[in-house]
């Protein structure tokens, strides 16, 4: 089993910065890459603030925090990832964009490097087909926010080797994660179950069964969920929820996975949830719309 000394993380958003934080706190050198310099600036600030919160709660020493931050390097050049033992991408949830990135990574990364995707639904086998190292491609599905959520879902593609799996499982445990393992089926484990529930909550709202408040309160108090499904959808991002539902619908071919028209309408209107200030609920002043990061 290979020792992981350097990790590359692609994508400076909330997921990418959280994954980078996990790695540097675990004593691993990190290259954090994003094509947007502002995203890297914001990610560095977010990581620093998050680490300091752990220090203030007594969960991390000041010395270890300083050491962690020294391990973080930012870049906009894929060439800087040549030294990485594992490269984790956390970019926009688009198969075409991811496959294009994987083709570039296959050319740039060292021969022994493992390529991992934080995708929540896209086939690892199909992503691996864009490379000449399909045995070294795997899914590492983190949950938001990565420094807090304990779960990590590992997804093996059709050709993922045992050596790749064992290296990534050891890395996840080094991050302090509890690991669950899924075969490469649409939605994997968590989203295969969660997203249809969220979609059904949208149908319940769409057909006038109840108000959004009563739907969420019912699920929180009736099933002991910490967040209601509509509130959770806003937190995840309605565009992400819609993307996963479309993957399930196409991949499994069952009408029960048909995205609710209300969910589609909200996404078409730009009501993407907390990140846009409005989704099912409204969250104050709306930020300016931004295009998804494309590398």
129: CATH: 3.40.50.720
Task: Specify the pTM.
Answer: 0.89
Q: Any residues with CB less than 8 A from the CB of 73 and at least 6 apart, and which? A: 29, 30, 31, 32, 80
Residue 288 is assigned to a structural domain of this protein: no
**Which domain covers residue 201, as residue numbers?**
190-276
Residue 283 is assigned to a structural domain of this protein: no
HEC string of 202-240 equals HHHHHCCCCCHHHHHHHHHHHHCCCCCHHHHHHHHCHHH
- CA distances (Å), origin 72, targets 13, 91, 208: 15, 19, 50
- Does residue 151 register a pLDDT over 50? yes
Residues forming the annotated binding site?
11-16, 34, 50, 57, 93, 98, 120, 144, 275
The pLDDT value given to residue 119: 94
Q: Among the options 17, 117, 191, 293, which is catalytic?
A: 191
Residues in the chain: 295
Q: Do 153 and 230 share a structural domain?
A: no
Q: Do 248 and 131 share a structural domain?
A: no
Residue 293 is assigned to a structural domain of this protein: no
- Does residue 140 register a pLDDT over 60? yes
What percent of the chain stands above pLDDT 70? 96
Residue 74 is assigned to a structural domain of this protein: yes
Q: Among the options 17, 153, 243, 293, which is catalytic?
A: 153
Q: Do 125 and 212 share a structural domain?
A: no
Each residue's pLDDT tens digit, 173-212: 999 999 999 999 999 999 999 999 999 999 999 999 999 9
Residues forming the annotated binding site for NAD(+)?
11-16, 34, 93, 98, 120, 144, 275
Kindly report the CA angle at 247 between 98 and 32, in degrees rounded to 5?
A: 30
| Residues 66 and 94 sit within 8 Å (Cβ to Cβ) | no
What does the alpha-carbon distance between residue 248 and residue 79 come to, in Å, rounded to a whole number? 35
Q: Do 123 and 52 share a structural domain?
A: yes
From 129, 157, 183, the end of a domain falls on 183
Q: Do 178 and 150 share a structural domain?
A: yes
| Residues 157 and 134 sit within 8 Å (Cβ to Cβ) | yes
Residues forming the annotated binding site for CoA?
50, 57, 120
From 161, 183, 205, the end of a domain falls on 183
| Residues 43 and 74 sit within 8 Å (Cβ to Cβ) | yes
- Does residue 291 register a pLDDT over 90? no
Q: Any residues with CB less than 8 A from the CB of 138 and at least 6 apart, and which? A: 114, 115, 116, 117, 124, 154, 155, 156, 157, 160, 164, 165, 168
Q: Among the options 46, 120, 134, 293, which is catalytic?
A: 120
The pLDDT value given to residue 284: 80
Looking at the DSSP bridge assignments, the partners of residue 137 are: 115
What six digits make up the tokens of 153?
């879902």
Q: What is the CATH number of the domain that holds 237?
A: 1.10.1040.10
Q: Do 179 and 143 share a structural domain?
A: yes
Q: Do 59 and 174 share a structural domain?
A: yes
SS3 49: helix
In the residue annotation, 255 being an active-site residue is answered as no
Q: Do 148 and 177 share a structural domain?
A: yes
- Does residue 218 register a pLDDT over 80? yes
Q: Do 150 and 20 share a structural domain?
A: yes
In the residue annotation, 42 being an active-site residue is answered as no
What does the alpha-carbon distance between residue 85 and residue 111 come to, in Å, rounded to a whole number? 9
Q: Do 254 and 174 share a structural domain?
A: no
Give me the torsion for CA of 262, 265, 270, 272, rounded to 10°.
30
Residue 295 is assigned to a structural domain of this protein: no
The mean predicted confidence, pLDDT, of the chain is 94
- Does residue 136 register a pLDDT over 50? yes
Q: Where residue 40 falls among pLDDT bands split at 50, 70, 90?
A: very high
| Residues 1 and 163 sit within 8 Å (Cβ to Cβ) | yes
Residue 281 is assigned to a structural domain of this protein: no
Residue 285 is assigned to a structural domain of this protein: no
Tell the residue number behind the tokens 């709306």, with chain if given: 286
Residue 294 is assigned to a structural domain of this protein: no
Q: Do 149 and 201 share a structural domain?
A: no
What six digits make up the tokens of 175?
């991050």
Cis status of the peptide bond prior to 145, with omega within 30 of 0: yes
- Structural domain count of the chain: 2
What six digits make up the tokens of 7?
């990790």
From 183, 203, 230, the end of a domain falls on 183
Q: Among the options 141, 231, 243, 293, which is catalytic?
A: 141
The pLDDT value given to residue 1: 67
When pLDDT is averaged across residues 83-88 and rounded to a whole number, the result is 98
Question: Which runs of consecutive H residues, i.e. helices, occur in 26-184?
Answer: 37-56, 62-70, 95-108, 124-128, 162-174
Q: Do 70 and 206 share a structural domain?
A: no
């Amino acid at each position: 089993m290979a020792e992981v000394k350097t990790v590359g993380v692609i994508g400076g958003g909330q997921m990418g910065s959280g994954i980078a934080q996990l790695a540097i706190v675990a004593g691993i050198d990190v290259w954090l890459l994003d094509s947007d310099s502002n995203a890297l600036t914001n990610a560095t600030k977010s990581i620093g603030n998050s680490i300091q919160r752990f220090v203030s709660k007594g969960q991390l020493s000041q010395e270890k925090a300083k050491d962690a931050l020294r391990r973080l390097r930012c870049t906009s050049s894929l060439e800087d990832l040549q030294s990485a033992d594992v490269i984790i991408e956390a970019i926009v949830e688009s198969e075409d964009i991811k496959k294009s990135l994987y083709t570039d990574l296959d050319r740039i990364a060292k021969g022994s490097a493992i390529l991992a995707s934080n995708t929540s639904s896209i086939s690892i086998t199909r992503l691996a087909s864009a490379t000449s190292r399909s045995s070294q491609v795997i899914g590492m599905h983190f949950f938001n926010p990565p420094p807090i959520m304990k779960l990590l879902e590992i997804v093996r593609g059709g050709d993922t080797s045992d050596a790749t799996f064992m290296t990534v499982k050891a890395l996840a445990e080094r991050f302090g994660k509890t690991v669950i393992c899924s075969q490469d089926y649409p939605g994997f484990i968590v989203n295969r179950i969660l997203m249809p529930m969220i979609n059904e909550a949208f149908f319940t709202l769409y057909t006038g069964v109840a108000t959004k408040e009563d739907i969420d309160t019912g699920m929180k108090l009736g099933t002991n969920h910490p967040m209601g499904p509509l509130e959770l959808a806003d937190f995840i991002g309605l565009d992400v929820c819609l993307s996963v539902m479309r993957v399930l619908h196409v991949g499994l071919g069952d009408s029960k996975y048909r995205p609710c028209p209300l969910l589609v309408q909200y996404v078409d209107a730009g009501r993407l949830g907390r990140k846009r200030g409005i989704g099912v609920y409204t969250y104050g002043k709306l930020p300016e719309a931004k295009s998804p990061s494309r590398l």
